[in-house]
Structure 1
Amino acid sequence: MKPNNLLLLLLGLLALSCSSGKNLSFDSSKENLHLYLLMGQSNMAGRGKVQAIDTLTHPRVFMLDKNENWVLAKDPMHFDKPGAGTGLGLTFGKIMANEESNIKIGLIPTAVGGSSINAWFADSIHRQTNTYPYDDMIRRAKKAMESGTLKGIIWHQGESDSNSKNSLNTYPQKFEAMLDSLKSDLGISSIPIVIGEIGYFFYPKAKFAKDMNGVIRQIANSNDCIGLVSAEGLNHKGDETHFDSDSYHALGTRYASEMLEIQSNCTSIFNY
């Protein structure tokens, strides 16, 4: 069942916790802390206005902060650029936590605004932020996996690769190569992945943006362990590039719904 926005609001309010402790530790089995990697560029990092609901924590939803400490998750979750704000990750995490009362959710923010697919390979620098998105992601994932078990990846990226026909044509191969490297570096054989369309409102700003969504759908259709989230009906915050806060909430709901479906259909997922 797909939660609607009203249910999302209720989930956030009912799950409110006043605690915001640093350096949290987990005494239970690693199997009880479900980890999710948040990867991509600015629309995964989040650029929405932080609203009251985005500061409400859930007692079983955590994030690995900039200093690699576990803290209760709230927006802004990412720290890639000063403009980081509300994104889709917190909504996603709350819904996943409410599916099972005996588990905790550990979100691993790794998205980098402005990064193309080319930045998501080992030793590849992203000049805008002077960071190494892939290497940083692997380091943070390994740190998180000391406490929990990786259960999925959510990916939102493509705007930076929408201006070049060559980028469009090579995107599927690069995406597959990135995942192969990730699985090898993290010691996993398969993982459920949910990827999202870029905003339809972005089409006038990039020559091949609409075609990029076609490529994203193609990737999702190529593997039973990859799910697709539509951007239909979602709005931008006024810049025709980034979703507004309400749309990020909707995206988080869609990502969670799709992840749950993929996890139920994707067999032999975890083989360490």
Structure 2
Amino acid sequence: MLKKILKSVVVTSAVLGAVSFAQDPNLHIYLAYGQSNMSGQATVTDKDRVQDPRFLVLRAANHSNQKVGEFYPAAPPMGHSQSKVGIVDIFGRKMVKELPDSIKIAVANVAIGGQSIDLFDKDRNKSYVQSAKNKGDTWWIQYLDEYGGDLYKRIVEMGKIAKQKGVIKGFLFHQGEADYQMNDWPKRVKKVYDDLIKELELDPEKTPILIGELAPTGDLGWRNEAVKQAADLIPNGHLISAQGCPALKEASYTLHFTREGYEKFGERYAEKMLEILKSQEPAPDSSKIDSSKVVRTDSTSRDSTSSDSTNSIRNMAVVRAVDSQSPRLFYDVYEQSLFVRFKKDGVEHRYRLTGRKK
């Protein structure tokens, strides 16, 4: 009888689609926020609905019969109920493709089109909403309500859940079209980031924010100098180029990216984050190296044998010289292997550290 009950619970959970976790260091969570390009404007296709068990959405808005604060297999809409496909959809799929199978990626997306950075500012959002209501600018209030009526609070709520269930690896940000006349916009972007870092008790040195350019061929591409200023103001801010990402010509404006534009742009967010993750690899310990466990490869012919003990020697910072001067140690995140790399007689050679004698 007990087995039947347990089986029923498992089946029910699978049908509901929610994914539950204890705190898992291999669950990497990103908090995304901004306006329409972060919400996503590309038409949803069948391939966007294909779920990857390693790519999840931390539901931040109340819709789709899914509970706020729960994890589900990622599929659009990733933000509010009218979100389509955008940066976070492409970002997540690229990340799981490139990272080891042991890593899961989750994104919480809090974004509403056409809104100022002030809507995300804990000290300005209430007056901003009231001013909009006074002007009759209320078309977007329904989406604000899906996020609980306060975007800053919702990001913080998602951040606290993220810290309990996994590890916050960074922020994804795209906004600025609504504030094209705001001279101090870069400083306001930094303030929101700083407030979130403080409230969530995050280490700013380990928590980057990726800030994307506005569509260069769009109406507001000229504002990208301000976007760069915002990224430069934040010590761990990183500018994501939108050069070569096509913009969509619409009836009244050209502000959003095309499907191709989102795909290029989202992958660039992921590529920058992968670069950052690689730079955060822990410093290795040279005392754990055994020179007998070095297998030679070179730039034209790599050893294709994957080591069964690579993980045990991954954490090394320096390695003794291997039949040449000044070798360099590096970890290849794509091959999940540690290498010694050096040049000899003008030819680059690589040694894969496998822990296997040869």
* Aligned amino acid, residue 183 of structure 1: I
CA distance in structure 2 between the partners assigned to 1:20 and 1:230 by the alignment: 40
* Aligned amino acid, residue 112 of structure 1: I
CA distance in structure 2 between the partners assigned to 1:20 and 1:48 by the alignment: 28
CA distance in structure 2 between the partners assigned to 1:223 and 1:183 by the alignment: 12
* Aligned amino acid, residue 85 of structure 2: T
Partner residue of 1:7? Answer: none
* Aligned amino acid, residue 212 of structure 2: G
User: Structure 2 length normalisation: TM-score?
Assistant: 0.62
TM-superposed deviation, 1:160: 0.4
TM-superposed deviation, 1:173: 1.4
Check whether the contact 1:92–1:253 (CA below 8 A) recurs between aligned residues: yes
For residues 202-254 of structure 1, give each alpha carbon's deviation from its aligned partner in whole angstroms, at most 9, with x where no partner exists. 22xxxxx3442101112323445221111112223332121122211111101
Answering whether residue 154 of structure 2 is matched by residue 154 of structure 1, we say: no
* Aligned amino acid, residue 114 of structure 2: G
What secondary structure does 1:100 align onto? coil
After the TM superposition, which segments of 4 or more aligned residues of structure 1 sit over 6 Å from their partners? none
Check whether the contact 1:195–1:228 (CA below 8 A) recurs between aligned residues: yes
User: Structure 1 length normalisation: TM-score?
Assistant: 0.80
Q: What is the aligned-residue identity percentage?
A: 31
Instruction: Pick closer, same or farther for the CA change 1:20–1:110 going to 2, 3 Å.
Output: farther
Instruction: Pick closer, same or farther for the CA change 1:110–1:20 going to 2, 3 Å.
Output: farther
CA distance in structure 2 between the partners assigned to 1:236 and 1:77 by the alignment: 21
Partner residue of 2:73? Answer: 72
TM-superposed deviation, 1:176: 1.5
Check whether the contact 1:50–1:86 (CA below 8 A) recurs between aligned residues: yes
Check whether the contact 2:186–2:233 (CA below 8 A) recurs between aligned residues: no
Instruction: Pick closer, same or farther for the CA change 1:141–1:223 going to 2, 3 Å.
Output: closer
Please identify which structure carries the higher strand content: 2
Partner residue of 1:23? Answer: 18
Instruction: Pick closer, same or farther for the CA change 1:174–1:227 going to 2, 3 Å.
Output: same
CA distance in structure 1 between the partners assigned to 2:231 and 2:42 by the alignment: 26
Partner residue of 1:86? Answer: 85
Partner residue of 1:262? Answer: 276
Structure 2: stretches of 5+ with no match in the other structure: 1-13, 62-66, 133-137, 145-149, 283-358
Instruction: Pick closer, same or farther for the CA change 1:187–1:20 going to 2, 3 Å.
Output: farther
Partner residue of 1:201? Answer: 217
2:249 corresponds to which of 238, 241, 247: 238
CA distance in structure 2 between the partners assigned to 1:255 and 1:20 by the alignment: 32
Check whether the contact 1:49–1:244 (CA below 8 A) recurs between aligned residues: no
TM-superposed deviation, 1:267: 9.0
Partner residue of 1:9? Answer: none
TM-superposed deviation, 1:70: 0.9
CA distance in structure 2 between the partners assigned to 1:119 and 1:37 by the alignment: 16
CA distance in structure 2 between the partners assigned to 1:238 and 1:246 by the alignment: 13
Partner residue of 1:13? Answer: none
CA root-mean-square deviation: 2.2
Check whether the contact 1:193–1:259 (CA below 8 A) recurs between aligned residues: no
Instruction: Pick closer, same or farther for the CA change 1:31–1:104 going to 2, 3 Å.
Output: same
For residues 122-167 of structure 1, give each alpha carbon's deviation from its aligned partner in whole angstroms, at most 9, with x where no partner exists. 16144443332212211222223321110011101110011x1xx1
TM-superposed deviation, 1:170: 0.6
What secondary structure does 2:161 align onto? helix
Which segment is superposed worse, 58-67 or 119-128?
Answer: 119-128
Check whether the contact 1:117–1:174 (CA below 8 A) recurs between aligned residues: yes
CA distance in structure 2 between the partners assigned to 1:201 and 1:20 by the alignment: 44
CA distance in structure 1 between the partners assigned to 2:198 and 2:72 by the alignment: 28
Pick 1 or 2: higher relative contact order, CA cutoff 8 A, min separation 6.
1
TM-superposed deviation, 1:106: 1.2
Structure 1: stretches of 5+ with no match in the other structure: 1-18, 204-208
Partner residue of 1:187? Answer: 201
Partner residue of 2:326? Answer: none
Instruction: Pick closer, same or farther for the CA change 1:20–1:178 going to 2, 3 Å.
Output: farther
